[in-house]
Amino acid sequence: MEAMDRLMDIMDTLRGPGGCPWDREQDHKSIMKCLIEEAYELADAIEQEDAGELKEELGDVFLQVVFHAAIARDNKMFTLDEVVNELCDKLIYRHPHVFGDASVRDSDEVIKNWERLKRKENTKKQRESILSGIPNTLPALLNALKIQSVVSRVGFDWGNPEGVVDKIKEEIEEVEDAMASKKEDRMEDEIGDLIFSVVNLARLLKIDPEAALRRTNKKFSRRFYEIEKAAREKNIRLVEMPMEEKDRIWEAAKEKF
């Protein structure tokens, strides 16, 4: 593709003699954070449903893929073509119901077949656990969701959301007991158990807990901004505003947001 060739030429110039010193100095680990940040910016653009932002952020994520591939090629590890071809082979292999003779009833069966085929691939190293392939670098909330989703595929799961609600109530009681003990380690353990159970409930209700929390964060920010705006209009410091007034403004903001 002409656009791909142009991008690779630009990357070669940046990393080549007389190019950009910063680009030449980077390795896989040094730019790893950039990829994570760009992925979150892409997710934000998707939530905003802004086509212009989406196009730009997709480009930024794609740049990270090309950057890593260029670093790998320069270190004689592999090329971008090899990355793309391996991906193509994987997609064909894991979709036998499209490229082969297999048949599936629904998307749930597609996911089960996908996981089964992943385990059979010779290129994958033997894992001690079905959880071994979950990246440790995932944010804790997403990590919890991934763990629960994986174990559910082998039947280790709640029968219904109501059971998880009862578990959440139980975990709240354990948090209260931990608070009474005033032991920090125990409180941390019980808070973690509570959050893990809430993620389980969200999963069974087919709600993305990460998206739900982002939505709540944005909602909180909009409501709190109303309190800040009122403080500015009265020309007082936010800390000086009585809590009763903050509560009143907050309740009014709840009607708006």
Crossing angle of helices 184-204 and 209-233, in 10° steps, is 110
Which pLDDT does position 107 carry in this prediction? 86
Which pLDDT does position 41 carry in this prediction? 92
**DSSP code at position 125:** P
- In this chain, the answer to whether the domains covering 2-93 and 140-207 adopt an identical fold is yes
Which pLDDT does position 79 carry in this prediction? 95
Which pLDDT does position 118 carry in this prediction? 76
Which pLDDT does position 125 carry in this prediction? 57
Which pLDDT does position 194 carry in this prediction? 98
User: In the CATH hierarchy, which top-level class contains the domain 140-207?
Assistant: mainly alpha
Spatial distance between the Cα atoms of 215 and 223, rounded to a whole number of angstroms: 12
- Residue ranges covered by each domain of the chain: 2-93, 140-207, 211-256
225 sits in the region (left: phi over 0; alpha: psi -120 to 50; else beta) called: alpha
Which pLDDT does position 248 carry in this prediction? 95
Mean pLDDT split into 10-residue runs, the chain, 257 residues:
90 95 96 92 90 96 96 96 94 90 85 77 65 85 93 91 97 98 96 98 95 92 95 94 95 90
Spatial distance between the Cα atoms of 139 and 147, rounded to a whole number of angstroms: 12
* Cβ atoms within 10 Å of 11's Cβ, excluding its own: 20
Which pLDDT does position 101 carry in this prediction? 85
Q: Is CATH 1.10.287.1080 the right assignment for the domain spanning 2-93?
A: yes
